[in-house]
Chains A and B, each alone.
Chain A
Amino acid sequence: MSSSTATQDFVPKTRVGKVTDYVDSRVGGSSLVKEFGRKIFPDHWTFMFGEVALYTFVILLISGTFLTFFYDPSMAETEYDGSYLPLRGVEMSVAYASTLDISFDVRGGLFMRQVHHWAALLFVAAVAVHMLRVFFTGAFRKPREFNWIIGCVLLILSLAAGFTGYSLPDDLLSGNGLRIIDGVMKAIPVIGTYLSFFLFGGEFPGTAIVGRLYVLHILLVPAVILLMIGLHLFLVVLHKHSQYPGPGRTNTNVVGYPVGPVYAAKAGGFFFIVFGVLAAIAAAFTINPIWNYGPYDPSPVSAGTQPDWYIGWVDGALRLMPGTLGNFDLEFMIPFPWGTNALSLNVLIPALVPAIILFTLMFAWPWIEGWVTKDTREHHLLDRPRNAPTRTAIGVAGVVFYCVMWAAASSDLIATHFMVSLNDVTYWLRALVIIGPILGFMVSRRISLALQRKDREIALHGRETGRIVRLPHGEFIEVHEPVDDYKLYTLTSFDSPRVSQPTPDENGKVSRLDKVHGRLSRFFFEDRVAPVRPSELAASHDDHHDEVAGTKDRESIASR
C-alpha cells in the first residue's frame, strides 16, 4: 500500500485530525473514500428512481421494525377489547387484534403502519418506473445484462414482499386476497391441492398461514432483497453509470459530479426528502383502513375488494377471463388412472399466462435484442427512446398490455364512477387487452419515427422561428434558425442499425435460424430514419442558404 506510507509521514495537528488519523490508520477508510468518493455520477432526474426505490426500502426496514415490536402473527382466536368501538367484543385472530392495537392503542402506531404501507406502494412504483427508464433508454445492453436480471429478480421479490405483508393483518381484504391465491394454486392440475395444503398447512384458511407469511415477510424476502440490492449496486459501481448522449460524452467517460462531497450530500438529502414526503402522506391520508374491513371470515366478500396496485394486473386478468367461450367450456375433466382431475383453464390462463409472457420477455429481452442486432459492443451511452423505435414500441405494447389488465382490477369502480355498465367495461377491456398492445405498438413506433424525422429536419434546416420575411423579389420565406453545435450533436449522433439480410453459406444455403434472424431484423429496422450525415449537413447549408437566417438575422435572433 503506497498510500499508507504517505499517511505515516503525516502528523495530525488538531484533535479531530488525530482521532481521524487514529481510526484511518487502523481501518483504512481513506483509500475507500478516495476511490468511491471520486466516482462520477451523471445528473439526470430519470436516474433517481433507483435511489427512490433504495430509500423507500430503508424506510420500510425502519418502519417495519417498529411494527414487529407490537405485531403478533398468531391466528389464535380472541375477543377484541381495544379502543375501536365498532369492533369491541368481536371474535377475531390475535394477528388482526394486534394490528388494531397498533392502529388505535400504540402511540404513533397508526402513523407507522401508514408510513410502512405507503412506502411499500411507492417502493414497488419506484422499482417499476426505474425499470421502465432502463428499458426505454437501452441501459440493459452489454455490459449491464446481468444487472438487468438482478433488477427483474428485485421486482419479483418486491411483489413477494408486498403481497406477504398485505396478508399479515388477517383482515377481510387480505383474507380474500389469500383466497384467490389459494384458488389459483388449486387450479394447477394434479399437484394444485397438495401445493395449497402445503402452503396453508391443511385446508384454507387453516391456522398456520399468517405465521408463515410473517417469517417470509420479515426475514427471508427482505434478506434476499438486501443481498440483491448489494449485488445491484456493486455492479453499478463496477460498470460505472450510463449517461445520455451529448457533447463531450463518450462510451469511455462519465460526465457528471463526483460522489464526494456534493453528490453524496444531494443523495443523502434526497433520502430525507423521500422520507418527508412519505411521512406527510402517511400523516394526512389513510391507507388500508383494516378497521373497516373487519376480521377475516371466509364467507363475506366486500365490494371494492382489490389487491394493492402491484398485484392488480393479475386480479384484472382474472376478472377479464370469461368462464366459458360461448358454449365451449374452459374447464376440462381429465381421467387419470387414479381418478379424474380438473383442468380449469378459465383460472389458469389469466393467472399464469400474462405473467409468464411479461416476465419471460422481461428476463430474456437483453439477449433477444442482442441477437437481433448482433451487437457485441459495450454501451455506456443511452439511447433516446425515439432512436430505437421498435424497442420503444415493444415496450409501449407491454405497458399497454399491463395497464389494461391493471385497469380491469378496478372495473367495478370504473363502472360506478363513470356511470357505465360493469359488463360493458369488461367487454371493452377484453377487446383492449388484445387490440391495445397492437395499437400501442403501431402508434408509438410511428411517433418515434416522426420524432426522428423532426430531429432530422431541425438538424438540417434549423428551428422554425415563425418569422416571415419578404425578399426583394417578392418571395416570402420563413426564417429558420440553425441550432447550436451542442444541440446538433445530440440530434445527429446516434446509432441507427440497418436490416441485416441473411447471407448464404458456402453451399449457397441459408439456415432456418438465419431466416428467422433476417425476418426479425427487418421487423426491427426496416422503418428507419437515417441520422444526418456531415455531407448532408454541409449540403443543406449550401443549398438552402436563402432559407436559413443570414448572419445578421442570426445575431439579432440570438440577442433576443
Chain B
Amino acid sequence: MKALSQRRRHPLAAVALLLMALLTTGGIYAAASTANEAQAQTTSFTANDVEEGSKLFTANCASCHGMGATGSDAAPSLVGVGAASVDFQVGTGRMPMQMDGPQAQVKPVQFTEEQTRQLAAYVASLGAGPAIPSDDVLDASEGDTAAGGELFRVNCAMCHNAAAAGGALTRGKYAPALDGTSAKHIYEAMVTGPQNMPVFNDANITPEDKQDIIAFLDTIGEQGSPGGADLGSLGPVSEGLFIWVAGLGVIIAFTVWLTSRSS
C-alpha cells in the first residue's frame, strides 16, 4: 500500500487509473449487455402473445399480407413461414416494408422486442415453420471457424462476397453485407431464406455447420484487416480505383513539384 501511495504522482498514474476505469466500465457493460441478450430470447409463446400479435398484425401487416395472413396480390401468405421468419424480417427492420421495390430494405426497427415476439407468436400459431433459434445453437464459441469458412465459401460467398461484404444480384436485388448482423439473424436468414436467399434447412446445412458459419463470420468480423485498411473488402475494383486516384494522384503531385521552376 505504501508503494502504491508513493507512486501516486508518477507521470503514468493518470493513464493507469484511466485504463482501470475503462476496463471496469467496459467489463460491466459487456457482462450486462450479454445478460440482456440472453433474456431477450424466449421461444415459448403464451396465448396472450398470440392474441396481442394478432392485434398488431391486423393493425400493421394485414393491409398487404391479408386478414389472417393468407396473402394478397401485394404480398405472400405467411401461413407456415414460422416465427424465425417474422423475427428476422421485423427484427432487422425489413418489415413493414418501406416501399415497394426489388427487395425489402433494412431500416430502423419499427417494433419493440416484445411486439416482435408477439407478432412471431401469432404467425407461428398459423402453421408450423422454423422457430426462433435457441441460445445454445447460436453460441459461436462452440463453432469451428475453419470449417465454417469452407462452408461459407461454398454456400454463401457467391452472393455475399468471400469477405461477407455483400454483392449484386439481378434487377436491383442484392445480397447485403453481413458485418454487424447478429448471430440470431444470420441463423434465421439461413433457415427461412428471406428475400432472394435460398433456404438452408437442417438437412442442407446441419445446425452444427450453421454454428461454424456463425463462428467464421464472428471471427472475420472481429479480427479486423491484417493488412491495413481493407478498402471495403471489395476486391480488385477498389484497389484499382485507389491506385489510380490516390496512388497516381500523389505521384503526379510530386512530379509537378519536382519539375516546377525554382524561381
Contacts and interface: CB of A to CB of B under 8 A. Distances in A.
B165 A304 contact: yes
A306 B153 contact: no
A411 B168 CA distance: 9
Interface in A535-560: none
Interface residues of B, number: 61
Given A45-B258, A286-B228, A303 B244 contact: no
Contacts of B225: 286, 289
A45 B237 contact: no
The dominant DSSP class at the A interface is helix
A521 interface: no
B252 to A, nearest CB: 7
A306 B233 contact: no
29 contacts: A43-B259, A85-B223, A86-B145, A86-B149, A86-B216, A87-B149, A89-B146, A89-B147, A103-B226, A110-B226, A122-B243, A273-B254, A277-B247, A284-B228, A284-B229, A289-B163, A291-B226, A292-B163, A294-B162, A302-B153, A303-B157, A304-B237, A309-B239, A309-B241, A409-B237, A412-B167, A415-B174, A420-B172, A423-B170
Given A90-B149, A114-B227, A304 B258 contact: no
Contacts, number: 201
| List of 10 A-B pairs having minimum Cβ-Cβ separation, nearest first | A303-B167, A309-B240, A286-B227, A412-B168, A421-B172, A302-B162, A45-B255, A302-B157, A415-B168, A121-B243
A129 interface: yes
Contacts of A291: 226
B242 to A, nearest CB: 7
A303 B243 contact: no
B171 interface: yes
A125 to B, nearest CB: 6
A153 interface: no
B152 to A, nearest CB: 9
Interface in B129-178: 145-150, 153-154, 157-163, 165-172, 174-175
B76 interface: no
B199 interface: no
Nearest to A287: B239
Most central of A86, A126, A278, A411 by chain B CB within 10 Å: A86
Contacts of A47: 259
Interface string B234-263: 111111111110111011101110110100
Nearest to B172: A421
A210 to B, nearest CB: 19
A214 interface: no
A292 B220 CA distance: 9
Given A121-B240, A289-B233, A303-B166, 14 more contacts: A85-B146, A89-B147, A122-B243, A172-B153, A266-B258, A285-B228, A289-B226, A303-B158, A303-B160, A304-B167, A306-B236, A308-B240, A412-B168, A422-B170
